[in-house]
Chain A
């Protein structure tokens, strides 16, 4: 089964062809990695899938349905969650509040009931906390549960952001450079987490990553981009030694 498919996807910023007609298919329950030098267009692909950017051309199909015109706030409800390259957490909120916001797509609220905090609201809040607690256990975030994000180290923030994405109970998870800024121990943890996310939680992972060690360890499939175009596609080993890819990274 194919989880996500991009068909001739393109986005031009004026003269810059950030994404220039790329096509790929992400199989269900796999880890699919985008690599490429700086400015290759990897993050732009993520922003297109999140519907933050409007594509110039092409289509995006998620689980057989066209999502090219879905509004951005509907993407989470459809089962796609993401993290951001430069961390976009809610800085002046606690870890718990951030994770609970991951539940927002499931938290259909009635404002009047919430104003009075009727028993139903409390019941749903407890149910959300139970879901969030499973993610807290999974990522060992217990020590930071009630800490403000602004008081956390960079590495922990990255993990909280991963946790927030998991709280949406996605079927497709987009990770933009999950290991950047992590220390070696945290990166080792990340390898296991990504494998567990795929194998135990059954979530498809689409990831952008520069650390080739991590890429080789977890990826089922690698797609290399340069100047918005696909230059290689295949297993991690094959893509890494592809002459086009080597050239792109050496600045050719």
Chain B
């Protein structure tokens, strides 16, 4: 059994729980940095794709997992980031300015839609954000002069450090660095007062208010930060798909992003990455499955979205803590090995909460 023994307040605040945990992450990072030595370009591309999805999922996790606000428009935020970035590149803005600027623009849009969504909760918020996703798609199609309309446009490929940005392993390292940066800022905000305020308004709005948390301010901040991170992912996503057209950023993408955070485990950035890995790998798994399924099923056009839906429902019903929850159980099982009790994660007691909660 491991026990974290804290001898100073800094130990509470630091990004890593203890030296052992830090070393594991450093080892993982070393492996990822060395990957281009052994992996073929195809696999580096797949990994970059997972990194990009992870950044977007970290953004959505901030809003849905930590602030408790469901969103069905993060596909649109990814799109806004991608379009803003590519348009900036077209205008000759260099990569290192265009990517942060695209993120800021998306954050601004996020704040703007967060504000009217403030009074909405649950299913109503889901519907409002869904509607917003359609509006954004509509804008992509009809704002011809900038977005190229229905047919879209090819994303320019600037040179970075003397190479074309889409060259490997450069693109791989750029996306890895972007993911590390996204994780850095996301974890920072969660260990600061702002992050705690987000958790507070997720768990009890009325108590959050009595502690001095201004609900409108923090919901808006959450939408803005979440959209900003997802828009940042959009910049890299633009290169990944190479050609921007409105149908890339439809509702299915938003659902996939939501699937990532739910399957990964709400309330954990590590879960967001597990989810991105899972959803990133899913299409390949489905492609493999097609060979084994009877023709009539395998040829169904809706197979992929249908499976996404099924998996989402399955996780909500049977493993609400997602892959991250599984991971924690597994780790505890090994750390307590012969002593592990099945009941450890059973709810001990449930207290009835009445409607008159105050």
Which A residues have a C-beta under 8 Å from some C-beta of B?
43, 46-47, 50, 52, 71-77, 81-82, 84-93, 96-97, 100-105, 107, 109, 111, 114-117, 121-122, 125-126, 129-130, 146, 150-151, 153-154, 164, 168, 176
Contact = CB atoms under 8 A, between A and B. Distances in A.
B30 interface: no
Contacts of B347: 150
24 contacts: A43-B358, A46-B358, A52-B209, A73-B209, A73-B214, A73-B215, A85-B358, A86-B357, A88-B357, A89-B203, A89-B204, A91-B203, A91-B204, A100-B196, A101-B208, A101-B211, A101-B213, A104-B193, A104-B212, A104-B213, A111-B194, A114-B192, A117-B188, A129-B9
B320 to A, nearest CB: 12
Contacts of B213: 73, 101, 104
Interface in B1-28: 4, 9-10, 12-13
Nearest to A84: B358
B188 A116 contact: yes
Contacts of A101: 196-197, 199-200, 208, 211, 213
Given A89-B204, A100-B196, A126-B10, A114 B188 contact: yes
Nearest to A114: B192
A143 B200 CA distance: 23
Secondary structure of the B contact surface, majority rule: helix
Contact of A82 (B185, B202, B210): B210
Nearest to B215: A73
Interface of B: 4, 9-10, 12-13, 185, 188-189, 191-197, 199-200, 202-204, 206-215, 221, 225, 267, 347-349, 351, 353-354, 356-358
Contacts of A154: 349, 351
B271 to A, nearest CB: 13
Q: Which 10 A-B pairs have the closest CB atoms?
A: A105-B212, A114-B192, A76-B212, A88-B207, A107-B193, A90-B203, A117-B188, A73-B214, A129-B9, A109-B193
A154 B213 CA distance: 25
Contacts of B196: 93, 97, 100-101, 104
Nearest to B66: A92
Contacts of B208: 90, 101
B341 to A, nearest CB: 14
A73 B185 CA distance: 27
A183 to B, nearest CB: 14
Given A91-B204, A114-B192, A115-B225, 13 more contacts: A43-B358, A73-B214, A84-B357, A84-B358, A85-B356, A86-B356, A90-B199, A104-B197, A109-B192, A109-B194, A116-B185, A117-B188, A129-B9
A167 B347 CA distance: 29
Nearest to B214: A73
Contacts of B13: 122, 125-126
A115 B192 CA distance: 8
A129 B13 CA distance: 10
Contacts of A76: 210-212
